[in-house]
Structure 1
Amino acid sequence: MRVSNTLIGIWSMFTGLASLVIIGAGIWLATKHEDTTCIKFLQWPIIFLGIFVLVLSVLGIFGALRRNTCFLWIFLASYFILILLLIIFTIFAFVVTNKGAGEALSNKGFKEYRLGDYSSWLQRRVEKTSNWNRIRSCLSDAKVCKSLDEKYPTETEFDKAKLTPLESGCCKPPVLCGYTFENATNWAKGKGYDATASEDCLRWDNDQKNLCFECDSCKAGLLQNVKKDWRKVAIVLIVVLVIMIVVYTIGCCAFRNNRRGGYAPAGKYGA
């Protein structure tokens, strides 16, 4: 009858490894892209969640292999709460990243992004002045547009470019504004210029420190990258959630067996 305890010990080890994956996902969000590096409120909940899962895994291993009913009870109660929180967090991640997609443009290799297409929760995070001032400064310091002039020296090459959402939103004015191409990060108000087409048309600045970093299109480009990365993390969380549910089910069996007293005293096995 010690099978359940052994299984929960083994499964808790797998959960411990899964917690390292969660922590790694948070670190990946914090370091992979310039945009997510600048948004600290997105990755820290994931990192803390991973640490919490790791602590519970240690409790599960200790409680199961030492056949300590008290630790198993704490493990199961905490795991139940954690599973509920993980379900809520995963659903939330999919809901807030459900909206938003780039708009394909005729004869252009890149897409453009509109802030209003994304969830209101994400919009509020970047529209808050204190948040965006910090993010904007971080993006500017990261020089996310610095290589465009060299990579796409002509208008034809630029039109065919596969720009990232951040490059499309922050490094050039929206196409509908009608600016005239001079180089990838320098645009003139030619005959086709229309200041009324979008508020972003007035926000564009050829100063390399400004460009379109105050534009809604820049905020939208950032959120598109966030959406893509969060979706990847949410898939990882689903896998971890399945593992945790299996661990919890086996843990309930181990706890019930311990309560029945179907085990020899721990000291007999060197515990």
Structure 2
Amino acid sequence: MTRFSNSIIGALNVITLLTSLPIIVGGIWLTVRAATDCEKFLDRPLIAVGVFLFVVSLAGFVGACCRQSCLLWVYLVVMFLLILLLFCFTIFAFVVTNKGAGQAVSGRGFKEYRLGDYSNWLQRRVDNAKNWKRIRSCLLQGKVCKSLQQKRQTWDQFINDNLSPIQSGCCKPPSACNFTYIDGTAWKKPAGFRSADMPDCDAWQNDESTLCYDCGSCKGGVLANLKNDWKKIAVVNIVFLIFLIVVYSVGCCAFRNNRHDYRYPRFKQSPY
């Protein structure tokens, strides 16, 4: 007689098994059809996650439904490591995103961002030349400043616009530069302008491929966006961790049932 815990583990792993298939297909689709390097960047992680879920779910399903204690033991070990990994990542995400926030600017409807406000670990990652080259390329390919160029706002409309952190940091010069707003992403520098203590002002160019993509404010905007995303992921991870712990507990019951049935097999009583 199949135990209730075995049935639950089997059913959950069937669902996970079916979920892994579209993830694998999605990763393969990105490999073949992705138009940009940013999209292609996701293909291998998606395929790896899909294959991992497929293999682990298959082991859990066979172990629970076919009473294979060895496979169920492997499944539980992997589940324990996954719970431990998610727990560590969640704590880490809260720690590294604890610092940093946008700076309110008087008379502006948006905030501005500085690289130095964020944790040293995040600063080192985004300030790395190789990493930033890839991020910069993604920002250009994603055309994050295109909406500002198309709006053609007046000055009053612009300063009251609710810009995203990346738009505020990358698509305009810092307010402290005191450049003259023209429209969209076009600004006028004073003749012969040089600012030794504000490198972001010198880095600004009206060219669409430059703008403030090499500014510290742009990197700060990227980190502000990353911080918000990581906070959301950390909250989702907490919910997922609770679910995994429940599944792990049920899996332990199924494993104990398998061991018990192996040690004390049930024999049919003879009619004689």
> TM-score category by the smaller chain?
0.7 to 0.9
SS at match of 2:146: coil
The alignment's TM-score, normalised by the length of structure 2, stands at 0.80
The AA in structure 1 aligned to 2:254 is A
Distance (Å, rounded) in 2 between the aligned partners of 1:91 and 1:58: 30
Q: Write the deviation string for residues 148-168 of structure 1: whole angstroms up to 9, x where unpaired.
A: 133142111111111111111
Q: Which residue of 1 aligns with 2:260?
A: 260
Distance (Å, rounded) in 2 between the aligned partners of 1:172 and 1:232: 27
Distance (Å, rounded) in 1 between the aligned partners of 2:106 and 2:132: 31
236 and 44 in structure 1: CA distance in 2 versus 1, 3 angstrom threshold: farther
Q: Which residue of 1 aligns with 2:232?
A: 232
Q: Which residue of 2 aligns with 1:180?
A: 180
Q: Which residue of 2 aligns with 1:7?
A: 8
- 1:96 is displaced (CA, Å) by 2.3
Distance (Å, rounded) in 1 between the aligned partners of 2:6 and 2:160: 60
Distance (Å, rounded) in 2 between the aligned partners of 1:254 and 1:183: 66
Moved more, 153-162 or 132-141: 132-141
Distance (Å, rounded) in 1 between the aligned partners of 2:17 and 2:62: 12
Kept after mapping to 2: 8 A contact 1:177/1:194: no
Q: Which residue of 2 aligns with 1:160?
A: 160
- 1:115 is displaced (CA, Å) by 0.8
Moved more, 158-167 or 254-263: 254-263
Distance (Å, rounded) in 2 between the aligned partners of 1:39 and 1:89: 24
Moved more, 50-59 or 126-135: 50-59
Distance (Å, rounded) in 2 between the aligned partners of 1:126 and 1:84: 27
218 and 206 in structure 1: CA distance in 2 versus 1, 3 angstrom threshold: same
The residue correspondences of 1:101-250 to structure 2 (distance < 5 A) are 101-190=101-190, 195-196=195-196, 198-250=198-250
Distance (Å, rounded) in 2 between the aligned partners of 1:190 and 1:217: 20
- 1:197 is displaced (CA, Å) by 5.2
- 1:109 is displaced (CA, Å) by 0.9
- 1:181 is displaced (CA, Å) by 1.2
Kept after mapping to 2: 8 A contact 1:38/1:139: no
Distance (Å, rounded) in 1 between the aligned partners of 2:39 and 2:215: 17
The residue correspondences of 1:60-71 to structure 2 (distance < 5 A) are 60-71=60-71
Kept after mapping to 1: 8 A contact 2:194/2:202: no
SS at match of 2:209: coil
- 1:140 is displaced (CA, Å) by 2.2
The residue correspondences of 1:66-85 to structure 2 (distance < 5 A) are 66-85=66-85
Q: Write the deviation string for residues 126-149 of structure 1: whole angstroms up to 9, x where unpaired.
A: 111122123223322333212313
The AA in structure 2 aligned to 1:245 is I
- 1:99 is displaced (CA, Å) by 2.1
The AA in structure 2 aligned to 1:3 is F
16 and 111 in structure 1: CA distance in 2 versus 1, 3 angstrom threshold: farther
SS at match of 1:67: coil
- 1:252 is displaced (CA, Å) by 1.2
Q: Which residue of 2 aligns with 1:269?
A: none
Kept after mapping to 2: 8 A contact 1:152/1:161: no
Aligned-pair identity (%): 52
Q: Write the deviation string for residues 98-126 of structure 1: whole angstroms up to 9, x where unpaired.
A: 22221121111111011112222221221
The AA in structure 2 aligned to 1:208 is E
- 1:63 is displaced (CA, Å) by 0.7
- 1:14 is displaced (CA, Å) by 5.4
SS at match of 2:172: coil
Kept after mapping to 1: 8 A contact 2:110/2:159: yes
Distance (Å, rounded) in 2 between the aligned partners of 1:196 and 1:71: 64
SS at match of 1:64: helix
Kept after mapping to 1: 8 A contact 2:5/2:251: yes
Size of the aligned set, in residue pairs, is 254
Distance (Å, rounded) in 1 between the aligned partners of 2:47 and 2:222: 21
The AA in structure 2 aligned to 1:127 is D
Distance (Å, rounded) in 2 between the aligned partners of 1:230 and 1:96: 9
The AA in structure 1 aligned to 2:96 is V
- 1:196 is displaced (CA, Å) by 4.6
Q: Which residue of 1 aligns with 2:34?
A: none
